């Protein structure tokens, strides 16, 4: 493995630890918040917490794998020969990315049949997107990285189409006090996800080894925090506001006006 400086090693290590702490805290926030929404939206918050829980687990493992892959020798960082396990990320995404789309569909409170059809279609597309990206991530040649990366953009673009065209009517049917938040959540999904291909291809534009390692690891970490914890807070706020709109507000978790 390329030679990292102590600073680069620590930056990546601390990014993993930061991400674990953030995602674990977010999980408890979402699950505790279930008591503040009406029954219809409890599953959305359960799944929102599952996404951050699964991601927290993987960041804990990623951090362990990172420590095992390197050691301090006379104040420098040396590879131990134990390979860093990149697959944790893809295993995580395979589980969490479909769930992220499903939590958005659930919090929109669509009819049962529309919920099932949209959640299924988006979930399958998301899993396909992740599965197609992995061969490129572990590919040794940049050509393969580009090919698989471009293949996985196809389901990604289809997802964007579904979110902007397929869901547009359902979004405009949202209660007034939640509509703009649902739009924001939809946009945060697309914007934060758009960051992944940037990081992915950063590994293919020929940065030197250790620099691209920093860009890829820190980049994915920031994207995961925004796409899972940040997005989840929006889902929580939507669930709370829609609960207020449907109840007398006694379930409110936000300050009275």
Binding site for a copy of itself (CB under 8 A): 6, 10, 13-14, 17-18, 20-22, 24-25, 28-29, 31-36, 39-40, 42-43, 46-47, 49-50, 53-54, 57-58, 61, 72-75, 81-83, 85, 87-88, 91-92, 94-95, 106, 109-112, 115, 250-257
Q: Residues 6 or more apart from 73 whose CB is under 8 A from it? A: none
Rounded Cα distance between 198 and 213, Å, is 14
Give the nearer residue to a copy of itself in terms of CB position, either 28 or 124: 28
Give the nearer residue to a copy of itself in terms of CB position, either 112 or 169: 112
Give the nearer residue to a copy of itself in terms of CB position, either 87 or 202: 87
Rounded Cα distance between 198 and 180, Å, is 27
Rounded to a whole number of angstroms, the minimum distance from the CB of residue 53 to a copy of itself is: 6
Rounded to a whole number of angstroms, the minimum distance from the CB of residue 108 to a copy of itself is: 8
Residue 72 phi/psi, 5-degree rounding, is: -85, 125
Rounded Cα distance between 118 and 124, Å, is 10
**Of residues 93, 243, 231, 100, the one with CA closest to residue 177:** 243
Please count the residues of the chain: 257
Rounded to a whole number of angstroms, the minimum distance from the CB of residue 130 to a copy of itself is: 12
Rounded to a whole number of angstroms, the minimum distance from the CB of residue 79 to a copy of itself is: 11
Give the nearer residue to a copy of itself in terms of CB position, either 57 or 146: 57
Rounded to a whole number of angstroms, the minimum distance from the CB of residue 205 to a copy of itself is: 27
Residue 70 phi/psi, 5-degree rounding, is: -135, 160
> Tokens representing 65?
């794998």
């Amino acid at each position: 493995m390329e030679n990292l400086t102590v600073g680069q090693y620590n930056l990546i290590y601390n990014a993993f630890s930061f991400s674990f702490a953030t995602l674990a805290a977010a999980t408890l926030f979402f699950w505790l918040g279930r008591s503040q929404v009406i029954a219809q939206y409890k599953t959305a918050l359960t799944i929102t917490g599952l996404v951050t829980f699964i991601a927290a687990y993987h960041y804990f493992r990623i951090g362990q794998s990172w420590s095992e892959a390197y050691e301090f020798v006379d104040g420098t960082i040396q590879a131990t020969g134990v390979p860093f396990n990149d697959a944790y990320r893809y295993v995580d995404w395979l589980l969490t990315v479909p769930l992220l789309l499903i939590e958005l569909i659930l919090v929109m409170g669509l009819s049962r049949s529309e919920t099932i059809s949209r959640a299924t279609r988006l979930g399958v597309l998301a899993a396909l997107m992740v599965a197609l990206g992995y061969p490129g991530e572990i590919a040794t040649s940049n050509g393969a990285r580009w090919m698989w990366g471009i293949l996985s953009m196809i389901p990604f673009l289809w997802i964007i189409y579904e979110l902007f065209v397929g869901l547009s009517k359902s979004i405009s049917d949202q209660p007034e006090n939640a509509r703009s938040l649902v739009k924001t959540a939809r946009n945060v999904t697309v914007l934060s996800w758009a960051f992944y291909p940037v990081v992915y291809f950063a590994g293919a534009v020929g940065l030197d080894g250790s620099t691209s390692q920093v860009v890829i690891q820190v980049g994915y970490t920031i994207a995961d925090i925004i796409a899972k914890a940040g997005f989840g807070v929006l889902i929580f706020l939507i669930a709370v506001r829609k609960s207020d709109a449907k109840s007398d507000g006694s379930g409110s978790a936000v300050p009275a006006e």
